Amino acid sequence: MAEVASDDDEYYGEEVSLLSLLLGDVELRRRFIGNSQQVARELTDDPATIEFLMKLDHLQLEKQAESLVSKRQHEVAALMPVTWQQLGGTAVSRFRNFAAESSWPQGHTRHISDAEAFSSWLFERQVRELEIAEWNRLRFRLTDRRLAIRILSNGQILPRLQILLRQKDGRIRDYMYGWE
Amino acid sequence: MAAEDVVVVEEEVEDVVVEVVEVVEDVVAAVDDDQPELIEVPLIGLGYRQMLADWISTCPPEVHCLEITAEHFFDHGQVRLEWLSQNFPLYVHGLGLSLGTPGPLDAKTLDQFARVVAMANPEWISEHVAFTRSAEVDLGHLNPIAPTEHSLQILVDHARELMDRCQKPLILENVTSFLRLSGDLSEPKFLNRLCEQAGCGLLLDVTNLLINARNHKFDELAWLQELEPHHIRQLHVVGYSQRHGVWHDNHGAAIQDDLFKLISEVARITSVNAIIVERDMNFPPTDELRRELTRLEEVCAAVRQRSGQHNG
């Protein structure tokens, strides 16, 4: 049986919502740290929620937000290791720029979706370090397909063939064929 | 069967009988001392990860049980899950139900979680004392909850709903966070109330406890003393990392000595059912993992032995 939400529940709900906004939105967080009182009043007119926001430790808030982006970055780096390595010293800054522009995908495949979106972002910017075969694998993982065949031209005269196969246990096999 | 085989079998039976007699003697000694609670050595196991799949397929004797992450099996892996459930005691661990978010649980995530639980038939299920999203924003990872009466009620309602849906016992895990939110209760008291009111147990992550204690400068043993020990059913542990005076739970290091010591403290105050090593990256050679699991078992056995001597 669904319980009727009390006013207190609504205030608590607002606390979680506003904390999420502060953790997820770099610009809002910067403004809040710069002038907490004003931003808190812009966000809510509930005195209890304002009090909750005013008690937040700015350094802790920043560290928590940073840890969320770091975890996101770590997962993406693990899912596209070749591209990440090829990006070298620019990998982190490129990812941070991408993360600042995009919201985190929802659902249990969020890390794969995030890595796929980062790959698309790199592709749109014609970043040559993007490993297309890795991007193909990410796109395949987001489908239910059993088999996918991709042609990788990469500017070469003889293209390579990538075959992606999903096994019954869910594991993915990635075969690459080339012509010498 | 050859004569020498019969001799071997007889020797094995004799060994088993000796072990059984020793256990019975322990029980009798405990009862004689009005100490009916026998401290047992927990099952030791691993968080199941794809990188470990081939090794786990060999059923290594050091791995007594496995914890699977529900989200890893939402889309695929039914065959593997079936094999795992036939060969190991399993526990299903959730990451994305966001029990601390006000409002109803996400119906789709709950359906997927319940489907994995039905396939795995675990001994219990677990989630976190945390929120990962609000109605507007999905933060993707765990965030702390203010220990207030309001948040307690939301967690209690969601914990009950999850247990009703999955028809399995539930244990909830303490999280690590750089952000400490003030509230009406201390964290251990909040966890005590949560377990009592929801009828669930506690999954104590000793690494999270130690990291929080170091980063927020409190005494982890005093924290433990505030906790009702009988709520603790399972432990999580993995090595931490440290950079510039800040401790991190990156799930990629060997278990340090101070964590073994903390596990020993927990084992001294209560008997947990299982300890799971939560390694997510930098996987060492399997021999190292074996040694780590064996050491965990030895630490718990040593506590049991000391406790037995003390009681005796």
User: What ipTM was assigned to the predicted interfaces of this complex?
Assistant: 0.82
Q: Is residue A124 part of a domain?
A: yes
Q: Which tops the pLDDT comparison, A16 or B10?
A: A16
What is the C-alpha separation between B65 and A49, in angstroms, rounded?
44
Task: Say yes or no: A20 and A79 in one domain.
Answer: no
- Interchain pair B179, A52: CB under 8 A: no
pLDDT at B34 over 50: no
Q: Which amino acid is at B197?
A: Q
- What is the arithmetic mean of pLDDT over A71-75? 93
Is A16 in Cβ contact with B102 (below 8 Å)?
A: yes
Q: Is B105 on the interface with A (CB under 8 A)?
A: no
Any CB–CB contact under 8 A between B74 and chain A? yes
Judge whether A110 is closer than 8 Å to chain B, CB to CB. yes
| Same domain flag for A120 and A158 | yes
Which CA distances in Å does A37 have to A12, A54, A113, B2, B75?
19, 7, 37, 86, 46
Q: What is the mean pLDDT of residues A127-136?
A: 95
Q: Report the mean per-residue pLDDT for chain A.
A: 89
Q: At B208, which CATH number?
A: 3.20.20.150
Q: How many domains in chain B?
A: 1
A9–chain B Cβ distance below 8 A for any pair: yes
**pLDDT of A52 above 80:** yes
Residue type, B75: D
- Residue B83 counted as domain residue: yes
> What integer is the mean pLDDT of A97-114?
89
B150-178: pLDDT as tens digits: 999 999 999 999 999 999 999 999 999 99
Q: How many CB pairs under 8 A join A and B?
A: 115
In the structure, what pLDDT confidence band is assigned to residue B21 with cuts at 50, 70 and 90? Answer: low
Q: Which of the four pLDDT bands, split at 50, 70 and 90, describes residue B35?
A: very low
User: Is residue B297 predicted with pLDDT exceeding 60?
Assistant: yes
Identify whether B161 is part of a domain.
yes
> Across the interface, do B140 and A5 touch by the CB < 8 Å criterion?
no
Does residue A131 lie in a domain region?
yes
Mark whether A80 and A144 lie in a shared domain. Answer: yes
B232 phi, psi to nearest 5 deg: -75, 120
Both A171 and A83 in one domain: the answer is yes
Question: Is residue B168, in this structure, part of any structural domain at all?
Answer: yes
Task: Name the residue of chain A whose CA is nearest to B160's CA.
Answer: A1
Residues A89 and A153 in one domain: yes
Q: What's the burial of B10, exposed, middle or buried (CB within 10 Å: 0-12/13-18/19+)?
A: exposed
B26 in a structural domain: no
Verify that A120 and A73 share a domain, yes or no. yes
Q: Is residue B5 part of a domain?
A: no
The distance of B97 to chain A (nearest Cα, Å) reads 10
Task: Mark whether A135 and A80 lie in a shared domain.
Answer: yes
For residue B136, being part of any structural domain is answered with yes
- A173 in contact with B, Cβ within 8 Å: no
Residue in B138, B151, B250 closest to A12 by CB: B151
Number of H helices, E strands in chain A: 9, 3
Interface contact A20-B141, CB threshold 8 A: no
Which residues of B fall within a CB distance of 8 Å from A166?
A: 76
Query: Is B9 contained in some domain?
Result: no
Q: Which of B138, B164, B247 would you mutate first to test chain A, the one with the most A CBs within 10 A?
A: B138
Q: Which residues of A touch B103 (CB under 8 A)?
A: 13
Q: Do A24 and B77 touch (CB under 8 A)?
A: no
- Categorize the per-residue pLDDT at A84 as very low, low, confident or very high, splitting at 50, 70 and 90: very high
Residue A156 and residue A95 in one domain:
yes
| Counts for chain B of helices (H) and strands (E), in that order | 10, 12
Can you give the residue range of the structural domain that contains A41?
7-56
The domain total for chain A is: 2
- What is the per-residue pLDDT across B37-57, written as a single tens digit (0 to 9) for each? 444 789 999 999 989 999 999
> Does the residue B16 lie in any domain?
no
Predicted local confidence at residue A1, as pLDDT: 37
Clarify whether residues A36 and A101 are in a common domain.
no
Least confident of A28-42, A162-176, B18-32, B114-128: B18-32
Q: A-chain residues within 8 Å CB-CB of B135?
A: 13, 17
Distance CA(B154)–CA(A44), nearest Å, equals 22
Q: Kindly state whether residue A77 falls inside one of the protein's structural domains.
A: yes
Contact A15 B146 (CB under 8 A): yes
The answer to whether residue A2 is domain-embedded is no
Could you tell me the sign of the dihedral formed by the alpha carbons of B57, B63, B66, B69, in that order?
negative
Share of chain A above pLDDT 90, in %: 71
* CB proximity under 8 Å: A 17-36 to B: 17, 19-21, 23-25
Domain presence at residue A22:
yes
Co-location of A164 and A77 in the same domain: yes
CB distance B151 to B100 below 8 Å: yes
Structural domain contains residue A170: yes
Q: Please check whether residues A48 and A129 belong to one and the same domain.
A: no
Most confident range (mean pLDDT) of A47-51, B71-75, B292-296 is B292-296
Contact A16 B182 (CB under 8 A): no
Q: Are A74 and A52 part of one and the same domain?
A: no
Domain extent at residue B190:
36-311
Whether A62 is in a domain gets the answer no
Cα nearest neighbour of A112 on chain B: B72
For residue A83, being part of any structural domain is answered with yes
* Helices assigned H by DSSP within chain B: 3-32, 53-56, 78-87, 107-120, 149-166, 187-198, 206-215, 220-226, 257-269, 286-311
